[in-house]
Amino acid sequence: MPQLPLRLKSPITSLVGSALLILLGLVPVAATVLDDPFMLTLFTRVVIMAIAAVSLNLILGYGGMVSFGHAAYIGIGGYAIGILAHHGINEAWIQWPVALIGSALSALLIGLLSLRTKGIFFIMLTLALAQLVYYLGNGAYAYGGDDGLTIQQRSSFGGLIDLNDKESLFYLCWVLLVLTLWLTYRIVNSRFGMVLQGAKSNDRRMATLGFPVFRYRLTAFVIAGTLCGLAGILTATYTDFISPAMMHWTRSGDLIVMVVLGGMGSLFGPLFGAFTFLMLEEILSSWTEYWKIVFGPILLLVVLFARGGIDGAMVRGAAGYALTGLVTLFAMYIVHYLWYDDWVPAAIVLAVAALAIVAIWLRQRRTGGQHG
């Protein structure tokens, strides 16, 4: 289903998206006030994953290229940092450009090889090429192989930012997320972006109009790969570790889930998706070891009933449900944080959420329309 850029102008999604961004930006403050440094750790990961999801959304949501090997760039960016650090090169001014250029070149190569195929073939080819990168990482025993590579010292910006300070690192990631979103916004609303989206809905038409579709797609592919390499750099910095497991196709699957869950082809969709996915994982796994038995059907239900993901729900007039969902998630996180093992407060929040959903549904039926 073609996603028109006009959706970006939808007031509700922009409002909620911006609100979420601002709330995320306030996390360090909350962490200090509540004396909970772990909150900062957790949300750093959310922000980094959001950058990766936004990069994937560029080619998947807007460009229609379902890359099942996107997590490979996280690995490439991360390993560039790790390998350089292993050899004693800790200056970020060297590490970051190497990592970004490495990701760009890999994306160029993978894109050249795979963009001639379409549909399921493209999916499988990107998966195969990413698995090759994964097995290369596994086989590189000099750099740990599948044990992974520990990064003993964080990159230094020469006094500009201290990456060992958790707050500084978080703000760096947050600023980069904002910049990535802004970059995506500009790309999508430019002529380049229009061609890309036009090619997603009908590439033959675009070609007839004289556009070199392949070149446009390859460019988008390289941009997305580079941005994901950035997420890789941040991942390696934040965990002080990089391993091939982070490049496995199942991680690419996680990224796809985040993008689709949040709403493909929308600016804030991947942010919603990454946030929801990681929050659910964090909260549910603290309740029970069997949390996937709940998480799985949740995904299924979202696909069946919430077409276009969370963002799509908001645009389609089901904003009430989507918002209830997001706010419930937020409330659940607070409950999980305060009353870690006690299920009663969680049950109360869920009950309130259920009531809210029923109330919204009833109100919709009475007004008889799609104005949610």
Partner 1 sequence: MTLLLVEQFLNGLQIGLLLFLLAAGLTLVFGIMDLVNLAHGSLYMMGAFFAAVLTEWTGSFLAGALLALPATALLGIVTEVIALRNLYTRDHLDHVLATFGLILFFNELARVLFGVGGMAIPLPDSLLTHFEILPGLPYPTYRFLIILVGLLCAGFLYVLVQRTRLGMLIRAGATNREMVGALGVDIKLLFTLVFGLGSALAALAGLMAAPITTVQIGMGDNILILALVVIVIGGIGSIRGAFIASLLIGLVDTMGRAFLPNMLGTVLSPADAGTVSEALSSMLIYILMSGVLILRPAGLFPAPGR
Partner 2 sequence: MKVSTLLRVTGALAVSALALAAAEPAAAQAKKIKIGFVTTLSGPNAAYGVDMRNSFELALEHLGRKMGGIPVEVIYEDDEQKPEVGKQKTDKLMQRDRVDIVAGYIWSNVLLASYKSVVDNNTFLISANAGPSQLAGEQCHKNFFAASWANEQNPMGVGHLLNQKNVQKLYIVAPNYAAGQDMANGVKATFKGQVVGQDMTRWPDQLDFSAEISKIRAAKPDAVYVFFPGRAGVQFLTQYTQANLKKEIPLYSVFTIDGVTLKLQKDQALDTFFGLFWAPDLPYAANTKFVTDYKKKHKDTPTFYGAQSYDVANLINSAVVATKGDLKNKDAFRAALEAAKFESVRGPMKFNKNHFPIHAIYQQEVYKVSDSEYDIRTISKIIDNLEDPSAPKCKM
Query: Is residue 347 part of the contact set for partner 1 (CB under 8 A)?
Result: no
Of these, 161, 218, 299, 331, which contacts partner 1 (CB under 8 A)? Answer: 299
Helical (H) or strand (E) element with 28: helix 27-33
Query: Is residue 32 part of the contact set for partner 2 (CB under 8 A)?
Result: no
Q: Compute the least distance from the CB of residue 243 to partner 2, in Å.
A: 5
Query: Is residue 334 part of the contact set for partner 2 (CB under 8 A)?
Result: yes
Query: Is residue 257 part of the contact set for partner 1 (CB under 8 A)?
Result: yes
> Which residues, 6 or more positions from 102, have their beta carbon under 8 angstroms from its beta carbon?
76, 77, 80, 229
Of 4 and 348, the one with the shorter C-beta distance to partner 2 is 348
Could you tell me how many residues of this chain bind partner 1 (CB under 8 A)?
44
**117-137 burial: b if 16+ Cβ within 10 Å, else e:** eeeeebbebbbebbbebbeeb
Q: Which long-range contacts (CB under 8 A, 24 or more apart) does 84-91 make?
A: 85/151, 85/152, 85/153, 85/155, 86/143, 86/149, 86/151, 90/153, 90/154, 90/155, 90/156, 91/155, 91/156, 91/158
- Report, in this order, helix, strand and coil percent for the chain, each rounded to 5: 80, 0, 20
Maximum alpha-carbon separation in the chain:
68
Of these, 327, 329, 350, 357, which contacts partner 2 (CB under 8 A)? Answer: 327
Query: Is residue 285 part of the contact set for partner 1 (CB under 8 A)?
Result: no
Of these, 6, 9, 119, 141, which contacts partner 2 (CB under 8 A)? Answer: 141
Find tokens 């201290």 and name the residue.
162
Choices 94-102, 185-193, 195-203, 316-324 (CB under 8 A): range interacting with partner 2: 316-324
Of 98 and 245, the one with the shorter C-beta distance to partner 2 is 245
Q: Compute the least distance from the CB of residue 146 to partner 1, in Å.
A: 11
Cβ atoms of 8 and 185 within 8 Å: the answer is: yes
Dig out the tokens for 176 from the structure.
């980069």
Please give the sequence-ordered ranges of beta strands (E in DSSP) within the chain, or none if there are none: 149-150, 241-242
Residues at the contact surface with partner 1, assessed by CB under 8 A: 1, 60, 66, 113-114, 116-121, 123-125, 127-129, 131-132, 135-136, 138-139, 249-250, 253, 256-257, 260-261, 264, 290, 292-293, 295-300, 302-304, 307
Residues at the contact surface with partner 2, assessed by CB under 8 A: 11-12, 15, 19, 30, 34, 36-38, 41-42, 45, 138-139, 141, 144-148, 150, 152, 239-241, 243, 245-246, 285, 289-290, 292, 319-320, 323, 327, 330-331, 334-335, 337-339, 371-372
